[in-house]
Amino acid sequence: MTVRVATLTASLILVHLTLRVALGLGNEAPDLFLIAVLIGSRHLSLGAGAALGFGLGLVEDSFAMSSFGATVFALTVAGTAGAQTRHLFVGNSWTFLICYFGLGKLIRDLLAWLASDPAIRNTFADQFVFESPLLAIYAGVVGTLISLLALRGTLRG
Amino acid sequence: MFGRARSRGLLSALGMILLSLIAVFLPAGAQQQIGHALRESLLKPFVEVHVAITQVRSRARDYDILRAQMDSATGFMANHRTLAEENRQLRSILSLGDRPEVTYIPAAITRQTATGSASVFRVGVGSQQGVPPFSAVVTDGGLLGQVQQVYSGYALAFDWSHPGFRASAMTTDGFNHGIVETEQGQFREQDRLVIRGVHFLSELDPGTEILTSGRGGTFPRGVRIGWVAGVAETRAGWSKSYYVTPAVYPGAVTYAVVAVTTPVPATDTSVAGTPVDSATAGSP
């Protein structure tokens, strides 16, 4: 991981905490934790990518009164998958990046939903008909813009 | 060499995934401790900023609204000043036991928007201020929710939209009783409050006020929950359920009081206490 990528990942984490915790914004703010995991893990080993997801998942879940661990699990898997993608997908075109971040968000939401307490989680239709697809598009666009603007020339493959 | 490093990485990744699954299935107490440790260390500066912003917003509330609320409260107190004494005398004549004393502790309400924290809010008072778990959180409109986890300087509570919310309820005349809970819709916006277990022969008209009944001692008696909106379900010969329009919309609340119920000694015949002035009861 280069200094530039590490700085970007740390900045995304800081901005996410500022927007979501300090300013109390909900889904108006993109899921920058996920974007940080997906960007960082592509420059890390499998274990380190999983550890990054695990750590950020713990922070995200610290406010969860029920279903603690659902985000930890989802982001750990996302970090592992993100680290693996650099061996499978080569390229840094905007189409790849949009699919990478968008699908990453959908899979993260699906995993978190599966690991959540069935008694309190949203219904599948509520979560995946409107909310998650829209948030996936949002994460895809924001993640792509950040990658193209901040990591120009450093993206691998 | 490269293959061995990669398989080592895979093993450590699988180990992390296993750890994350362990986190899902940890006992609730351990999960709460981890969450509390993170909130009080890494997240504390962000939480403090959020609390400060919420307080500034609530202080900037329209002066006219506050003035109108104070006028209403003053009028209400003037009209009901003798009620406490009348109530004490009547209870004495009927040899009724004392009602539990209720203390109201003012608190700032802040919400987090992290995943899994839907319906959960932070109450700005905790065990240091004498808040026990399962206390009612009440606004000027009515019942907001219930405290669940209490820490030294704050508490976490859920509002009535949480699937775990239950409150014993009654109509204002005290004739009809039931349990108010949340009925989840297909979409989150379709979640509704329902009062279940009302006597089958009862007929509650739309607009009938629903209050807490105080049964079970968790919530103080007489806190408004909402108004009947219509019949939800009828179980032939047994009971009816009614939809309830909530009195409080949780997303708009920035300030509330925590109702702490304390048993009254047998010799004390005072009735429910009056709200403590927020200026003297400690900052939220």
Which residues, at least 6 apart from B191, have a Cβ–Cβ distance to it below 8 Å? B161, B182, B183, B184, B185
> What is the residue type of B141?
G
The length of chain B in residues reads 284
Least confident of A144-148, A149-153, B90-94: A149-153
Taking CA–CA distances from B34, the nearest residue in chain A reads A62
The tens digit of pLDDT for each residue in B242-261 reads 999 999 888 888 889 999 88
* pLDDT reported for residue B269: 46
Co-location of B107 and B232 in the same domain: yes
Given a contact cutoff of 8 angstroms between Cβ atoms, the answer to whether B192 and B185 are in contact is yes
* pLDDT reported for residue B280: 39
Co-location of B122 and B245 in the same domain: yes
* Contact check, Cβ <8 Å, B184/A77: no
Q: How far apart are CA B41 and CA B53, in angstroms?
A: 20
Residue A88, chain B, CB below 8 Å: the answer is: no
Residue B254, chain A, CB below 8 Å: the answer is: no
- Which chain A residues contact residue B115 at CB under 8 A? 60-61, 64, 70-71, 112
Co-location of B36 and B105 in the same domain: no
Percentage of chain B beyond pLDDT 90 is: 24
Co-location of B8 and B110 in the same domain: no
Q: Per-residue confidence at B1, pLDDT binned at 50, 70, 90?
A: low
Taking CA–CA distances from B156, the nearest residue in chain A reads A65
Taking CA–CA distances from A84, the nearest residue in chain B reads B10
* pLDDT reported for residue A155: 52
* Contact check, Cβ <8 Å, B23/A112: no
Residue B12 exposure: Cα atoms within 13 Å on the Cβ side = 18
A63 vs B15, B21, B112: nearest CB: B112
The tens digit of pLDDT for each residue in A45-95 reads 899 999 999 999 999 998 887 788 999 999 999 999 999 888 787 777 888
Does residue B278 register a pLDDT over 70? no
Q: How far apart are CA B45 and CA B179, in angstroms?
A: 40
User: Mean pLDDT, to the nearest integer, of A142-152?
Assistant: 88
Least confident of B31-45, B56-70, B145-159, B211-225: B56-70
* Contact check, Cβ <8 Å, B116/A61: yes
Domain assignment of residue B142, yes or no = yes
Q: How far apart are CA B284 and CA B62, in angstroms?
A: 20
* pLDDT reported for residue B284: 37
Instruction: Name which residue leads in pLDDT, B61 or A155.
Output: B61
Co-location of B254 and B138 in the same domain: yes
- Which chain B residues contact residue A24 at CB under 8 A? 50, 53-54, 110-113
Nearest of A103, A135, A131 to residue A30 by alpha carbon? A135
Number of domains in chain B: 2
* Contact check, Cβ <8 Å, B120/A65: yes
A76 vs B20, B31, B110: nearest CB: B20
Instruction: Name which residue leads in pLDDT, B131 or B58.
Output: B131
Does residue B229 register a pLDDT over 60? yes
- Which chain B residues contact residue A69 at CB under 8 A? 20-21, 23-26, 31
Co-location of B175 and B35 in the same domain: no
Percentage of chain A beyond pLDDT 70 is: 96
- Which chain A residues contact residue B15 at CB under 8 A? 47, 50
The tens digit of pLDDT for each residue in B99-112 reads 778 888 988 888 87
Instruction: Name which residue leads in pLDDT, B150 or B189.
Output: B150
Given a contact cutoff of 8 angstroms between Cβ atoms, the answer to whether B249 and B241 are in contact is no
Given a contact cutoff of 8 angstroms between Cβ atoms, the answer to whether B211 and B171 are in contact is yes
Domain assignment of residue B208, yes or no = yes
* pLDDT reported for residue A82: 92
Taking CA–CA distances from B150, the nearest residue in chain A reads A65
Burial bucket for residue B96 (CB in 10 Å: 0-12, 13-18, 19+): exposed
Instruction: For residue B48, give how far its alpha carbon lies from the nearest alpha carbon of chain A (Å).
Output: 7
Domain assignment of residue B83, yes or no = no
Q: pTM for the complete prediction?
A: 0.78
* pLDDT reported for residue A14: 96
- Which chain A residues contact residue B9 at CB under 8 A? 45-48, 83
Q: How far apart are CA B71 and CA B203, in angstroms?
A: 35
Instruction: Name which residue leads in pLDDT, B81 or B145.
Output: B145
Domain assignment of residue B71, yes or no = no
Q: How far is CA A150 from the centre of its chain?
A: 17
Co-location of B115 and B16 in the same domain: no
Co-location of B142 and B258 in the same domain: yes
Co-location of B203 and B111 in the same domain: yes
Average pLDDT score, chain B: 83
Which residues, at least 6 apart from B86, have a Cβ–Cβ distance to it below 8 Å? none
* Contact check, Cβ <8 Å, B35/A62: yes
Co-location of B108 and B227 in the same domain: yes
The tens digit of pLDDT for each residue in B128-180 reads 888 999 999 999 889 999 999 999 889 999 988 888 889 999 999 888 899 99
* Contact check, Cβ <8 Å, B162/A24: no
Q: Per-residue confidence at B271, pLDDT binned at 50, 70, 90?
A: very low
- CATH number at B171 reads 2.40.10.350
Domain assignment of residue B80, yes or no = no
Query: CA-based Rg of chain A, rounded to a whole angstrom?
Result: 15
User: Mean pLDDT, to the nearest integer, of B3-26?
Assistant: 87
Which structure tokens are listed for B69?
Answer: 């609320």
Chain A interface, best mutation among B2, B20, B182, by max A CB count within 10 A: B20
Domain assignment of residue B8, yes or no = yes
Given a contact cutoff of 8 angstroms between Cβ atoms, the answer to whether A26 and B55 are in contact is no
Domain assignment of residue B251, yes or no = yes
Co-location of B106 and B227 in the same domain: yes
Q: How far apart are CA A29 and CA B63, in angstroms?
A: 31
Least confident of A76-80, A105-109, B180-184: B180-184
Domain assignment of residue B73, yes or no = no
Co-location of B125 and B255 in the same domain: yes
* Contact check, Cβ <8 Å, A47/B8: yes
Q: What are phi and psi of A61, to 5 degrees?
A: -80, -5
Residue A132 exposure: Cα atoms within 13 Å on the Cβ side = 20
Does residue B282 register a pLDDT over 60? no
Q: How far apart are CA B244 and CA B193, in angstroms?
A: 5
Q: How far apart are CA A117 and CA A132, in angstroms?
A: 18
Domain that holds residue B141: 100-262
Does residue A21 register a pLDDT over 70? yes
* Contact check, Cβ <8 Å, A45/B9: yes
Q: How far apart are CA B47 and CA B38, in angstroms?
A: 11
How many contiguous H segments (helices) and E segments (strands) does chain B have? 5, 12
Which residues, at least 6 apart from A15, have a Cβ–Cβ distance to it below 8 Å? A32
